[in-house]
Structure formats: C-alpha cells, structure tokens
A and B are shown apart, each in its own frame.
Chain A
Amino acid sequence: MTLGFLARLMLACLLISCAGLAGAQAQKQGGMLRVTHRDNPPSASIHEEATISTDMPFMAVFNNLVVFDPDSPQNRLDRIVPDLATSWKYSDDDRTLTFQLRDGVKWHDGKPFTSADVKCTWDIVTGKVDGKMRKNPRKTWWFNIKEITTNGPLEVAFHLNDPQPSLLVMLAGGFSPVYPCHVPAAQMRIHPIGTGPFKFIEFRQNESIRLERNPDYWKPGRPYLDGIEYSIIANRSTAILALVAGKFDLTLTGEVTPELVKDVKAQVPQMQCLLQPSNTQGNLLVNRERPPFDDARIRRAMGLAIDRKAFSDILSRGVYNVGGAMLAPPEGLWGWTPEFMATVPGYSADVEKSREEGRRIMAELGYGPDKMLPLKVSTRNIADYRDAAVILIDHLKTVYIQAELEPLDSAVWYARLARKDYAVGMNVQGTGIDDPDVMFFENYLCGSERNYTAYCNPELEKLFHQQSMMKDQDARRQLVWEIDRKLQEDGARPVVYQSQGGTCWWPHVKGLKLAVNSIYNHWRFEDVWLDR
C-alpha cells in the first residue's frame, strides 16, 4: 500500500512538474480558456458558499492576503507566499499577526484597496458585523480571532485569543478572499468585485460564467489569458465527450472519476489527467441521541463491520484512500501512516477478525442471525452517497444488522441532518483545507453546527486546542494522530473512505499547477497560458 501511495505521489509530482516546466517556455499572451463546469453555482460569493462549484470559477476574481505557493505540490504552512500582504509577522507572544499590505492595488471598479477592506471582510465572516450575507459557512474557522485592527491604510493586525499557527493556512485557502468594503453582499452574490487577475463579466444561470483579463492587475505581465469561460454542463458524459472532441481545454477539478480518467486517456493518450484527493470523505453517521444507538457498544459493532478496502475497491477500483479524519499520506500532511493505522480498531487488515468482535458485541446485546437489528440507512439520493450506502448495508449484515436504504432528496436530506432526524446515515463531506484546526473545530467540537452526530468529548476538546497552539509541526502531527485515533475509537463519525477525483486538460494548457492535498486553492489562473 505504501508503494502504491508513493507511486501515486511521484506520478502527481511528475505531472505537476511537467506543468511547471511549461512555465519555463516562452509564455504566449491571449486566448480564452474553456472549462467545463458541473452545475450552477449557488452564488458567486465565495465567502457564502462551501462548494468547489463557486470556489473554482470565482477564485480568479480575487486575491487573498497570502496564498499557498503555486509551485509547491502540497499546500502547507511552510510554503505560503505573499499575495495582497507583502509580509507578515507574529508578535512575541504569538497572539498578534500583523500584515503589511501592497500599495497601489485597485478593485475592479477602480476604488483603492486598503486595510479597511481586510478588517471589514473578517469582521463579517467572524460574525462581529452583520454584512448581510445569506450564509457564513466557515464562521468556525475564525473562532480564535479576538479583534482586527488597522494602522493606516497598509497595515492590518489579527489579534488572537491563543497562538494559532494554522490561521495563516486558513488565510491562504481559496475560501478566504479579501472582499471590498464598499460592495454590498447582495451584489457580491451576482456580480463580484475583486482585485484579482480576472474581472467578472457575466454569470448566466445554468449556462455559463465569463471572466475577462484585468488589464490593471497589480502583478506586472499577468495574467496571460484574455479570459476564462466556464460552460455549465450538467451531464458528466456530455462534458467528457465535449472535452475529448476538443470543445474544452480543462475540466472542473475532481469531476473525472478514476474510471473516466482511464477512458479519457484511452481515447486521447496525450490528455493530461491528475487524480487527487477531492477533500471529501465518506463517513458513517450514527445518531447517538436515538436509542438503541445511544449504546456505545452498538456503535462500536457497526464500526467493526466496515471493510474500508472493499469500499475503495468497489467505488474506485482501489483508488480511494483509507484513513481517519485527516487526509492520508503521502498526499495528506496529517493523516496516519499505514503502520499507525493498522493499530487503530476497525482498521486492521483482518476484517473478519474485526467482524467477529462485532458479532460478539451484538450477541451480548441479544442480537443474532435469527434476531437482526432492523434499521434504515438514510442518505442523499445521488450516486456518490447511494452507492456507498448500499455497500454499508451489505457490511452491516455481518454484525446482525438488517438495514434498509432510505434515499432522500437533497433538500430533505439536509433538513433531516439539521434536525438530527435520522438513525443511521451515509454521508459524504468535504473539508476546505488539509489542516487539523479546520477538521476538528468544524466537525467534532461540542455544539458545532456541522457536528451532525452530536459527538461531545470535553477532554478531547482540550487536545483540539492544545494541538492548535503548537508551533512544532512534527510534535503537533503526533498529537493529531492520537486525537484522530480517539475519534475513530469513539465512533464519532467513522470515516469509511477518502475520495479521489480527476482533473483533465489538453497539453496546450500550460502553467497549470495543482496541489495534491486540496482541490480548492490553485485557481487564480494568473500563470496559465495557451500554447496553440
């Protein structure tokens, strides 16, 4: 398995390096990049959405304070480079992070960018100021920000409750653009204004999104492209056929399944395709407030029934990763090594032994082949969710649980999750950044909005805060592994698989640099050019 991981990482790095080497050629100015898109983005406002459908097309309209180094195939704390901030510095007690800002930057409507825009953006997303946003899905990311102050138009400081090295990681993500203070939220949803390399031109619902080169971009000579056009193609088969026929240059990231990657490469051998973690994981939701699932023993038995390798084999022919809450290495920075993973209950290679243990627990509780525990596995009625739920039902039978599938319309599924009106669910969930702060505080904190299973462990929460404050990232990793182990042992939300998705592009698209541990952060397109 380790060799497979390494081979994949080497292949990914090779592809990324090839794309990077292309940057060494003489770049050509001009051309329209044509990209497929899978669905209608809910809005154009990145801060209000939690989907790649909004992040990828609109990231190029904006800038962040800092960004992940596009030349680094892994998004990580030590590879963060300036964007709107030219430099940054922590105070001696690590509780104040001060940014010096770039001078002379203008918004697309001609107004100057200042520190007030930074303060205004984070005052809104932290909830201190009502910015009239419809939604604020990443409010939990900023739990540690006490206050934001400015010192003149070109200096802004983030004052923190506790030291938090990961704050910089979150600021570098595609979901953290700087918004203009003078543009109302309602306009940002339909006609966003940014400082980025491309200006927003048009968003036709269910049809297309068009961006145009910003001639006044602060980075000299960038961008190379005249514009980018995303065509919304709801049918994946049509999108792939259109890519193969040359109607498009690039697919929406992560949209090409492992099987389709093979198919595309067979039809067009020169097509560049990269399979990478899609930052989504399939997990088992067990409502611990609803009997009999308030009994930890039943939850444990359910966890022991899962054969994670079977999920990966069936859903992706072995491409999906197996791991805990954090993304597995070599792509992920914080996931368990295979050796560590083998020591976690339910992750043993000997699945039959785990299931035997599960059956023993269930037998103690009075269940057996003649008296199965009946339940419904609720899930969203789309293929990614439904297919996994069907496999789960099959696995649960091995520990005397007779489950029935309950597919739900998306609207109903979300409403039921919100009300915790389910017993057992199969969920697929995305996370913006490969970082423990994002994962733990968003999904496992007592009372957190996305803590769907209502898991609450105050002792573990202390460790969440402890790891968040640690400067030594290697020591932090050890602690994160232990926290992740405890989460899986407690059956907080057993992680069944970590998905991978493909991105394909024609060789004439140069300068495209993707990361292996996130699909959300490399869509500025300022270095991309077309060689045709």
Chain B
Amino acid sequence: MLSYVIRRLLLMIVTLFGVSVAIFLLLRIVPGNIADILFDSAGLIDPAEKQKIVVDLGLDKPLPLQYAQWIAGLFRGDLGYSYVSEKPVIDEILPRIPITARLAGIALLFAVCTGVPLGVISAVRQNTWLDYGLRILSLSGLSMPAFWLGLLILMAFVHFFGTIPIYEREPATYWAWIQMLVIPAAAVGFRSSALIMRLTRSSMLEVLRQDYVRTARAKGLSEGAVTFDHALRNAVLPVITTIGVETAFLMGGLIVTETVFNIPGVARFLVEAIRWRDYPMVQNLVMFIALVVVTVNLLVDLTYMFVDPRIRYGG
C-alpha cells in the first residue's frame, strides 16, 4: 500500500514539472506579448519604446534563465510581480482563492449530492416515468452551456423577485449571502451533476444484473441493503474517477460562471491575465490550478484503496 502511495506522489511531481514547462513554453509561443499589448492598445508603435518595456519586464533574457528564475521563486514563495497591476502576484491571487474554492466546493457537493442519488433512483426505477423524467433532466444538464443557464437564472430572478444574485463583497443579509453562493454553484454544478447521474445509472444497471446481487436478494436482504451495500459500493468506482476528472472540467465552467455572476474569483482572473499576456500571473495561476487538479486526482486514487480492496492488497 505504501509503495502505491509513493508511486502516486512521484507521478504527481513529474506531472507538475511537465505542466510547468508546458505553461512556460506555450505562453511564449502564443503570438503577442505584454509589451505589444501595453503599447499598441494605446496606439503606440515606436519600436524603441516597446523595446524599453521588454527590457524593463525582463522579457529579453534567455528563456531557460526566465524559467529557472520562475521556478526558484516558486520554491522561495516569491511569485513575482504582475506586469499589469505592478503588485505582487501573491497579493492578487490569495484573496481570490477562497472565493473560487468555496464556489467549486459547493458546485462539486451539489453535483455529487444530486447526481449519485438521482442516478441510483433512475436505475432502480428503470423504464418508469420517473426514470424518463430524470434522463431528460440529465440530458438537459449536459446540453445547456453554463453561461446560458446562468443568464437564464439571472433573468428569472430579476423578472420574478426584482433582485439579482450577483457577487457582493458585503452582502446585506444572510439570505443574500446564501443566494450569492448557492445559485452560481448550482449553475456550474448542473452539468457535472447530470454526468454523474447518467454514469451512476448505467453503472448501477450493470451491477444490479450481477450474480452477487441476485445472491444477496436470495439471502433475503432488504432491497435497501442490496442497493446500497452491495450494488452501489461496486458501482461507485467509475463515479469516483469521474469526480476527479470533473474537478478539472469544473474550472472551465467556473470561468464563465464567474463572469456571468460577476464573481471575482481565480478563474475569471486567469482569463484576463491571459488576455494581457501577464506571464507571472498566468504561470502561477495555472500552476495553482494544476496543483489542485493533481491533488484531487491523488485523493481519488487514495480513495480507491478504501473502496476497492483489490488495489489495497495488490499495491
């Protein structure tokens, strides 16, 4: 078991190294840099002045040196300065992390708490009106883009309640605070919820036809014990894998949801930073997101050990 954990940890380090190289190179391969944008957006095209800013920002140094300086800074906890705001990157990122983390956490919780039970119900009540209804719901979740759903929700709130659940730094009431968190989370988590629901359903249907389930029923166990203790425990493995993958997808959904609900989180900030080619900001934000995704996947791998004894003993 220990060697399984060590292997996973080593893999995580290699993955993060690969991600760091990829981010660094990709950002510099993309046409246009911050000097282009800063100068040309203001209508300036004097090459000498542009070169001055290139030198000021250290963009004229060799790429390996720039990479080494960045990684060394990461180990020292020095993420550098934003080219745009001219403030330390850490000061820009830190206040935004809790906002996005809270939103992503609630969205994931929403996805799991609705997706798994509804998937089980859909499987157990296969080919009933309830099953058809839930399947339509899950298909809608997969088909609707998060930004469109978000806008529909906002329009409905303005039309029916005369208010709008967008982000406020200091919400007036506790109810406003709940709205501000839960509604965007539901909008972004709906897709993941639909995916988990469909996966749980198909996985459960497969397991429910297995011999050991028939045996459990033949032993006289209650339908609840058969469904949850025997079937769901075996059906949930692919669902756990999906939760890991969905964490990465959730970041994509968060970008649009943070934009539509005007939430000043990490995801929206990342898009702005990319638009401005703010290298220190983008590099560190993407590394942070990569760290989160890799960590979640590590946790998923570790969860396997507890859910599936074959991994524990085989490791």
A contact residues vs B (CB 8 Å cutoff) = 40, 42-43, 48-51, 134-137, 186, 189-190, 204-208, 231-235, 237-238, 241-242, 244-247, 409-412, 414-415, 417-418, 442, 449-450
Looking at B3-11, B31-39, B64-72, B242-250, the stretch in contact with chain A turns out to be B31-39
A303→B42 CA distance, assembly (Å): 27
Partner among A40, A51, A245, A415 whose Cβ is within 8 Å of the Cβ of B164: A245
A136→B268 CA distance, assembly (Å): 29
Q: Which residues in chain B, 22-49, are within 8 Å of chain A measured between CB atoms?
A: 31-33, 36-46, 49
Is B92 in contact with chain A by the CB < 8 A criterion?
A: yes
Distance in Å: Cβ of B111 to nearest Cβ of chain A: 23
Beyond the given A49-B42, A238-B166, A414-B41, please list 4 additional residue pairs across the A-B interface where CB-CB is below 8 A. Answer: A40-B84, A135-B38, A237-B154, A442-B43
**Which B residue's beta carbon lies closest to that of A450?**
B43
A49→B158 CA distance, assembly (Å): 36
User: Is A186 within 8 A of B86, CB to CB?
Assistant: yes
Query: Given A235-B260, A238-B260, A417 and B40 touching (CB < 8 A)?
Result: yes
Looking at B210-218, B269-277, B298-306, the stretch in contact with chain A turns out to be B269-277
User: Is A134 within 8 A of B38, CB to CB?
Assistant: yes
Residues on A with C-beta less than 8 A from B46 are 449
Residues on B with C-beta less than 8 A from A411 are 31-33, 36-37, 40, 275, 277
Residues on B with C-beta less than 8 A from A410 are 32, 37, 41, 275
Is B264 in contact with chain A by the CB < 8 A criterion?
A: yes
- Could you name 27 residue pairs across A and B whose Cβ atoms are closer than 8 Å? A50-B41, A135-B39, A136-B44, A137-B42, A190-B87, A206-B272, A231-B262, A232-B262, A233-B262, A234-B268, A234-B272, A237-B154, A241-B155, A244-B158, A411-B31, A411-B33, A411-B36, A411-B277, A412-B31, A414-B37, A414-B39, A415-B32, A415-B40, A417-B45, A418-B36, A418-B40, A449-B44
Partner among B32, B49, B87 whose Cβ is within 8 Å of the Cβ of A414: B32
Is B222 in contact with chain A by the CB < 8 A criterion?
A: no
The 10 A-B residue pairs with the shortest CB-CB distance in the complex, in nearest-first order: A411-B32, A414-B40, A137-B42, A418-B45, A207-B264, A245-B164, A415-B36, A450-B43, A135-B42, A50-B42
Partner among A43, A231, A247, A415 whose Cβ is within 8 Å of the Cβ of B31: A415
User: Is B264 within 8 A of A409, CB to CB?
Assistant: no
Is B149 in contact with chain A by the CB < 8 A criterion?
A: no
Residues on A with C-beta less than 8 A from B164 are 238, 241-242, 245, 247
A437→B36 CA distance, assembly (Å): 27
Among A40, A205, A208: residue with most chain B CB under 10 A? A205
Residues on B with C-beta less than 8 A from A245 are 157-158, 162-164
Residues on A with C-beta less than 8 A from B45 are 417-418, 449-450
User: Is A206 within 8 A of B269, CB to CB?
Assistant: yes
Is B114 in contact with chain A by the CB < 8 A criterion?
A: no
Residues on A with C-beta less than 8 A from B261 are 238
Residues on A with C-beta less than 8 A from B32 are 409-412, 414-415
Query: Given A415-B31, A418-B45, A234 and B163 touching (CB < 8 A)?
Result: no
**Which A residue's beta carbon lies closest to that of B40?**
A414
User: Is B166 within 8 A of A242, CB to CB?
Assistant: yes
Partner among A48, A137, A206, A237 whose Cβ is within 8 Å of the Cβ of B264: A206
Residues on B with C-beta less than 8 A from A233 are 166, 262
Residues on B with C-beta less than 8 A from A231 are 262
Is B173 in contact with chain A by the CB < 8 A criterion?
A: no
Distance in Å: Cβ of B74 to nearest Cβ of chain A: 21
Query: Given A410-B275, A418-B40, A190 and B166 touching (CB < 8 A)?
Result: no
**Which A residue's beta carbon lies closest to that of B157?**
A245
User: Is B84 within 8 A of A241, CB to CB?
Assistant: no
User: Is B39 within 8 A of A40, CB to CB?
Assistant: no
Is B53 in contact with chain A by the CB < 8 A criterion?
A: yes
B contact residues vs A (CB 8 Å cutoff) = 31-33, 36-46, 49, 53, 82, 84-87, 92, 151, 154-155, 157-158, 162-164, 166, 169, 259-262, 264, 268-269, 272, 275, 277
Residues on A with C-beta less than 8 A from B49 are 135
User: Is B262 within 8 A of A235, CB to CB?
Assistant: yes
Residues on B with C-beta less than 8 A from A414 are 32, 36-37, 39-41
Residues on B with C-beta less than 8 A from A235 are 259-260, 262
User: Is B151 within 8 A of A237, CB to CB?
Assistant: yes
Residues on A with C-beta less than 8 A from B84 are 40, 42-43, 205
Query: Given A206-B272, A409-B32, A238 and B53 touching (CB < 8 A)?
Result: no
**Which B residue's beta carbon lies closest to that of A234?**
B259
User: Is A134 within 8 A of B53, CB to CB?
Assistant: yes
Distance in Å: Cβ of A226 to nearest Cβ of chain B: 16
User: Is B42 within 8 A of A48, CB to CB?
Assistant: yes
Query: Given A40-B272, A414-B37, A449 and B43 touching (CB < 8 A)?
Result: yes
**Which A residue's beta carbon lies closest to that of B83?**
A134
User: Is B275 within 8 A of A247, CB to CB?
Assistant: no
Residues on B with C-beta less than 8 A from A137 are 42-44
**Which B residue's beta carbon lies closest to that of A207?**
B264
Distance in Å: Cβ of B106 to nearest Cβ of chain A: 20
Distance in Å: Cβ of A357 to nearest Cβ of chain B: 34
Distance in Å: Cβ of A271 to nearest Cβ of chain B: 14
Distance in Å: Cβ of A443 to nearest Cβ of chain B: 9
User: Is A190 within 8 A of B268, CB to CB?
Assistant: no
Query: Given A238-B262, A409-B31, A411-B32, A247 and B166 touching (CB < 8 A)?
Result: yes
A50→B42 CA distance, assembly (Å): 5
Residues on A with C-beta less than 8 A from B41 are 42, 50-51, 410, 414
A48→B264 CA distance, assembly (Å): 26
Query: Given A411-B32, A449-B45, A206 and B268 touching (CB < 8 A)?
Result: yes
**Which B residue's beta carbon lies closest to that of A139?**
B44
Residues on B with C-beta less than 8 A from A234 are 259, 262, 268, 272
A412→B37 CA distance, assembly (Å): 8
A260→B39 CA distance, assembly (Å): 32
A234→B272 CA distance, assembly (Å): 10
Residues on A with C-beta less than 8 A from B82 are 205
A42→B85 CA distance, assembly (Å): 8
Residues on A with C-beta less than 8 A from B277 are 411
Query: Given A409-B32, A411-B37, A190 and B85 touching (CB < 8 A)?
Result: yes
A414→B272 CA distance, assembly (Å): 17
Distance in Å: Cβ of B97 to nearest Cβ of chain A: 14
Distance in Å: Cβ of A193 to nearest Cβ of chain B: 16
A46→B300 CA distance, assembly (Å): 50
Residues on A with C-beta less than 8 A from B85 are 190, 205
A117→B87 CA distance, assembly (Å): 27
**Which B residue's beta carbon lies closest to that of A187?**
B86
A160→B10 CA distance, assembly (Å): 70
A409→B31 CA distance, assembly (Å): 9
A527→B86 CA distance, assembly (Å): 33
A272→B87 CA distance, assembly (Å): 38
Residues on A with C-beta less than 8 A from B92 are 205
Residues on A with C-beta less than 8 A from B151 are 237-238
